[in-house]
């Protein structure tokens, strides 16, 4: 499963150089990741109600081209590697066909009550992997 969302860059997302501030790309990744979970039938709020959370334990973003104020971006997210309690979510930010940034976040599936890692739920991962 691959989720793609549209996002128009507001002026507040840009820096003094007139381009999207580099840290905002991780916020864009989060926007797409939340929609990916929702489309898979497991919104993040429901995960927390079920006693699980997915803290970020690693993030990476390769910046290729700058986005600017009022650009219409297409931000995509899809599941990558999964291993034990870890799940990787890959992301891309595009303006039309042009790749602006690509990267990933790695999450640990954690039980809220014990704050201990737990194996990711196979049915959840299967729903994320569906085309």
What are the structure tokens assigned to 53, written together? Answer: 């959370």
> CA–CA separation, 60 vs 4, rounded Å?
19
Q: What pLDDT was estimated at residue 27? A: 98
Distances (CA, A) of 31 to 5, 84, 85, 91, 92: 8, 25, 22, 10, 12
Q: What is the pTM of this model?
A: 0.91
What are the structure tokens assigned to 115, written together? Answer: 């704050």
Cα angle at 121 between 102 and 131, to 5 degrees?
50
Q: Which domains does the chain have, with CATH numbers?
A: 2-129 (3.10.129.10)
pLDDT digits (tens, 9 = 90+) for 14-29: 999 999 999 999 999 9
Task: Point out the least confidently predicted range of 88-92, 99-103, 109-113.
Answer: 109-113
Q: Average pLDDT for residues 62-87, to the nearest whole number?
A: 95
- Which amino acids are annotated catalytic? 15
Q: How far is Cα of residue 58 from the mean position of the Cα atoms in its chain?
A: 12
Q: What pLDDT was estimated at residue 129? A: 67
């Amino acid at each position: 499963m691959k989720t793609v969302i549209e996002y128009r860059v507001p002026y507040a997302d840009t820096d003094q150089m007139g381009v999207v501030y580099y840290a905002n790309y991780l916020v864009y990744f989060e926007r797409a990741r939340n929609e990916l979970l929702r489309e898979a039938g497991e919104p993040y709020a429901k995960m927390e109600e079920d006693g699980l959370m997915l803290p970020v334990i690693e993030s990476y973003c390769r910046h290729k081209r700058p986005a600017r104020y009022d650009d219409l971006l297409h931000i995509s997210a899809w599941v990558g590697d999964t291993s034990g309690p870890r799940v990787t979510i890959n992301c891309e930010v595009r303006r039309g066909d042009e790749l602006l940034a690509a990267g990933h976040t790695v999450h640990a599936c954690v039980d809220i009550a014990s704050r201990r890692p737990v194996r990711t739920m196979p049915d959840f991962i299967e729903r994320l992997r569906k085309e």
